[in-house]
Structure 1
Amino acid sequence: MSINLDSWRQLPAAQQPEWPDRGELDKVVNQLGGLPPLVFAGECDNLKADLAAVTRGEAFVLQGGDCAETFAGATADDVRDKLKTLLQMAIVLTYAAKVPVVKIGRMAGQFAKPRSKNTEVRDGVELPAYRGDMINGFDFTPESRIPDPWRLLQAYHSSAVTLNLVRAFTKGGYADLRQVHAWNRDFVSESPAGKRYEQLAREIDQALAFMRACGVEPEEFHSVEFYSSHEALILDYDRALTRIDSLSGLPYDVSAHMVWIGERTRQLDGAHVEFFSRIRNPIGVKLGPTTTAEEALALVEQLNPDNEAGRLTFITRMGAPKIREHLPSLVEKVTANGAQVAWICDPMHGNTFEAPSGHKTRRLDDVLNEVAGFFEVHRALGTHPGGIHIELTGDDVTECVGGGTEIVEDDLARRYETACDPRLNRSQSLDLAFRVAELYRSA
């Protein structure tokens, strides 16, 4: 039976660029269609199986990375430092919370961002908004802000470089558990979270030494399984990278292992939901505080009609003041319907505010409060708090306020480097990981 992968083209597609030359776009899409896959269908199925374990309450998801990747950030140092942050967080969660952790990066494809406004104004000058390196440039000039379809091709190549580096790091020894101390030898090591992590690393060393003395050293200790994900916002790009798997005959978006639909593009009669209904990857949907239980159930019906565990993840982004009010009815009614869904908390997007300096920022306390509310709701309902979805970086940035090494609003301008939304630095990310581990143990 043939599958129509272009049915979405007949529906309204939100947040798409206004390409100045459709002919140039067609050339790029044709080139993308002939390029090798970035991931393989079997890898996507492996992630689906891991997410099925999360759905059953047997594992926990750690999903994180840049708000918006940049082409300039596809370097060995930048990729290593983001990976290092996620590995440290995963160690904290695995060891302190005693739970298997499914590790997914917002990496190798997160080059496009939805925007609340189509234009940006500076000093009386209005230009198109920056929509991510996949679409246009960050520089505030008329030339830079013109959507350029050839950037889609550059996004593919930057994703390939990033995935190649990730695979080398995770399979080539860097992710070996014996490296737990080596991941903590920079600015984070003297922070409160870094010192707490170092104590945990010493305990892991002792456990490993005991196992080696007993003649036990599993292969799993020497490498990790790490998956890629991004918001599949630009449909022309993800459609061009959709392939029919030669073994199953089913379509997979081979731009990433997992793709998700954003809060601004989850319209039930929209192009994104239609496209996602055709591919076989594990998929996610962001749910904000206005989401109704009826909408959530309709998304289940359209995106996972076979009720397959591991297929669908709901990523809630409510905001700290709203999560305890709005999340319970969603979880309760979806669960009562028998839907096989993993629940993940994005505590970042609902907690953004503008500092007096004009910088967009987030308070770590608000992030922690939303995560705590997420756990409280699931604990009260007897359901599984399945994971966290975090915007973070491995760099010593000053973009979010708070943390053990406290950043205040006056610090924001010192190292504010994000291309879009504010990210937790590595010390703040470890603060979060320890708090999540505590919440998981008590859930």
Structure 2
Amino acid sequence: MIERKITYQHSFIGQQFIAKLDFTSQYHSLYCARLKSLKYRCISADESGYFSLSEIMEVKVNQSCLIAGIIVCTYADRSSIVEKYISKIGILADRKQSTFYNRRKEEDFIYLEDESGRVRLDLKQYFDWENLITGLVVAVRGVMRENSVLEVIEIFYPSADPPRPLLRKGDEFICFISGIEIGNPSLDPILLNLLSNFLQGNLGNDSAEVAKNIVRFVILGNSLYKADKENSFEQKAYSDISADIVPSISKSLEFFDTFLAELAGILPVDLIPGEMDPSNSSMPQQPLNPYLFPLASRYSALRSFPNPYECKIDGIHILCTSGQNINAIMQFIDTQDPIKILELTMKWRHLAPNAPDALGCIPMQDDDPFIVEDLPNLYVVGGMPNYQKLVTEEGVHCITIPKFTSRQQVVLVNRFTMESETLSFVSVIQGMNNC
């Protein structure tokens, strides 16, 4: 077994994602906190300085104005709450759709809403309107027309502090994995055994040279498998699943506990929940209970964190999610490329703008935890179809982590340079099968 020296300082800075599971409140306060926090950042992004901020109800016909508010989109193809309830009890067939976006629908409208009221937007002169979704906070410069429609000339997004410059170089790596889905019939258990042996340096000298430079292991959600019949468009919590699959979940937890114990014995492991895991289904998901892992929790190297997960390693800012926020956004915009949506969330300064509209979230009262106060150096999202990477204009390194069950890949990220690469176990297992 190889030896590692952990010389860096790791600090968890995502305290805003630790929340009390209280669902007795309404979401009005969450939207108010979001608007209050981001509206003046939008104004600072307006470099003209010519327009002063107006409220919607104050603007007169043919008056030029600058208004900050929350985007509200309507979709003719989207089922109403009443329709969802009727389909759930079996009276009406559910309109199962992967996307609600359709630029050809004349019934689809985009509004801007502030504390005083709501106005419909005319975006014919604005080319980037396809990527506007409900929940975004923006400032809109335009002219109010006689039909009470605001003709948009320009849109300003919130500003944020740039990432910290990367000045150091080195060969230490953080290993990211997502979608292990233990209990999935398509998962070959030997893959996890290979992964464990690789990290321990037991797959030969060449592999050991790579493995000894991996100084942290991050698991981004969906570590346990939940059958398709237990999944739905409206995600269910573990408390709602049928009793007949409880034994299989228990067996999967036992296997996962053993796997975690092997890893936590050799390097730090960060465990983040996903939509299939035994945590609350609403965002932010709370850390997985250590009592689920009696063997692995004996090691201090195993730490359970919320989803989203935010930390600093030697001052380098890292932000991660398990992918629910990206999947929720993808249903409502023209862009279907996950890495482009990661870039958009950094542009919007918000991880999940359509929560709670299309993504369940805890009704926070005092603040919105999904606001991106400072841009991270590294933004990683798990549960995606493929590995992709992109560097935004501001210098944020965005990376998507593929589902391990589908791609048999982990992603190694250099903690100094943010450069990344995949490590595939497909060729290894194919070679073993040919023997």
TM-score by length of 2: 0.35
Structure with higher strand content:
2
Structure number having the greater helix percentage: 1
Larger radius of gyration: 2
